[in-house]
Chain A
């Protein structure tokens, strides 16, 4: 029983971590809390669903969803944040403009697909089930877990080992100094939004495949939980997102098993609240994105 709960918690926690990575990347680089992230999570899942229903193979459809998410992220930056950057607006304005774009994205999905929950065709999501000792899981769950970890490792490599990664870290450290050494800020911002949003979209796709449900309001299931993840792990820290995501996933499954399913989310938010009061930098936040 305990082992099964732990495994379930890790599976869902890895998806939370992947979603929260987008929050934390954008916060680390631009100091913006991007509340449109959950709408891209949802639109990524819808794009993949539409492609699958048109007969595109699942893997290609997932890539399509990630690409669409990335482009929606770049668009978000251009319409919601770029005008405010030029004006050097305070921290409240970008928060609100991200809410506005979130409304537009969710509203568009609601207009096209309606409020109903959609499902993937059964043969697409049907996978073999394995039992190892006391633990049962599906191939899909395992793939999702591995894919999430691989994407996070890939991001970490990109930040540490590539020119783009060095540029992103430099901009996170000090935009003006980065500009002085010849880094094109706008290009770094656009690429950061593409990467963060593509990862958010993949998280949405994996979440949708896990529960075989896609709906225009599915983002609200993770929107606030993602905040708990980055606060717990540390705002701007990538290993922190992973740790936070897994811990939140575990705490959910364990509280359902041993306390009460009704208060599951209350425990998540109590963790968030206490963390902010006791240690606002999070478990791994001190170093932040600057050292990746």
Chain B
């Protein structure tokens, strides 16, 4: 037991980071499950993070109401963004959402309320490990239920073939918008947890690279099921830590793993787990 607590206190930051990254990978997975490549999740992260941090620090709101208000704001932003862009397909949707994310980040750099390029420091450590991991467990459970529901089957049908899905009486626009809002809410919520488990936030936390990390985690783990993004996040968050000895070459290994998985394991690492269970 003592060894366990010693391990935790030495690595708690990393453990929290894994949980947050898993939530972020799930946020991009939701839209992927509906066939939409949306790459604006760093923008939703930023919206909730700044909103909830400001509510706590300036308006003295309690932690949970502030985070939930911020999450609601991200979901609304997701609906507002989703509505005009959902008729775009494939890479055009990806580019439009990247543009959204960049605009949010540039506003964070320039507004005074967000602290500009320096960001906001002195954020209280309110997102504890139990809060992060119970949130993750709840998100995994709800998303797993979603995949087994009527909506989940509609998502899968739209991802397969949108026109055929519409022919079956599914309303693609409504489901795509729902996937957008859910993804935005999860990304925002994770952004708030991330802010309240580190001491400060700044616009560089919400750059394009952030969403690339989310996408890489989801794809390396596998987008076929809810377990994949979680598995991918654990691996890709731990990897840089174990590869510290490579110093500046670390990104090479990350790239090689991502390339290996996309070429040889198109269903991601989770497909290995699934295959073993099936046999």
In the complex, A105→B255 CA distance in Å? 9
Contacts of B95 in A (CB 8 A): 33, 227, 231, 272, 276
By CB atoms of chain B within 10 A, which of A89, A103, A105, A260 has the most? A103
Knowing A103-B251, A103-B252, A103-B255 are in contact, say whether A266-B262 is a contact too (CB < 8 A).
Answer: no
**B251 x A106 contact (CB < 8 A):** yes
Binds A, one of B9-17, B47-55, B63-71, B212-220: B212-220
Contacts of A87 in B (CB 8 A): 266
Contacts of B92 in A (CB 8 A): 231, 235, 276, 280
Knowing A104-B255, A107-B255, A277-B96 are in contact, say whether A99-B216 is a contact too (CB < 8 A).
Answer: yes
Binds A, one of B97-105, B132-140, B166-174, B271-279: B97-105
Binds A, one of B118-126, B175-183, B242-250: B242-250
Contacts of B254 in A (CB 8 A): 103, 107
Q: How many cross-chain pairs have Cβ atoms below 8 Å apart between A and B? A: 130
In the complex, A99→B218 CA distance in Å? 14
What's the tally of chain B residues with a CB closer than 8 Å to chain A?
Answer: 41
Please classify the interface of chain A as helix (H, G, I), strand (E, B), loop, or mixed, using the class held by over half of its residues: helix
Contacts of A100 in B (CB 8 A): 216, 255-256, 258-259, 262
Say whether B106 faces chain A, with CB atoms less than 8 Å apart. yes
Say whether B107 faces chain A, with CB atoms less than 8 Å apart. yes
**A95 x B91 contact (CB < 8 A):** yes
Contacts of B106 in A (CB 8 A): 262-263, 265-266, 269
Please classify the interface of chain B as helix (H, G, I), strand (E, B), loop, or mixed, using the class held by over half of its residues: helix
Say whether A127 faces chain B, with CB atoms less than 8 Å apart. no
In the complex, A85→B227 CA distance in Å? 28
Binds A, one of B18-26, B82-90, B141-149, B192-200: B82-90
Contact with B along A216-227 (1 / 0, CB 8 A): 000010011001
What's the tally of chain A residues with a CB closer than 8 Å to chain B?
Answer: 47
Contacts of B208 in A (CB 8 A): 220, 223-224
**B252 x A111 contact (CB < 8 A):** yes
Residues of chain A at the chain B interface (Cβ within 8 Å): 27, 33, 79-80, 83-84, 87, 89, 91-93, 95-97, 99-108, 110-111, 114-115, 220, 223-224, 227-228, 231, 235, 260, 262-263, 265-266, 269-270, 272-273, 276-277, 280
Q: List 29 A-B contacts (CB under 8 A).
A: A27-B91, A84-B262, A93-B262, A96-B219, A99-B216, A99-B258, A100-B256, A100-B262, A103-B252, A103-B254, A103-B255, A103-B258, A104-B251, A108-B249, A110-B248, A111-B246, A111-B247, A231-B92, A235-B92, A260-B110, A262-B106, A262-B109, A266-B102, A266-B106, A269-B102, A270-B99, A270-B103, A276-B92, A277-B85
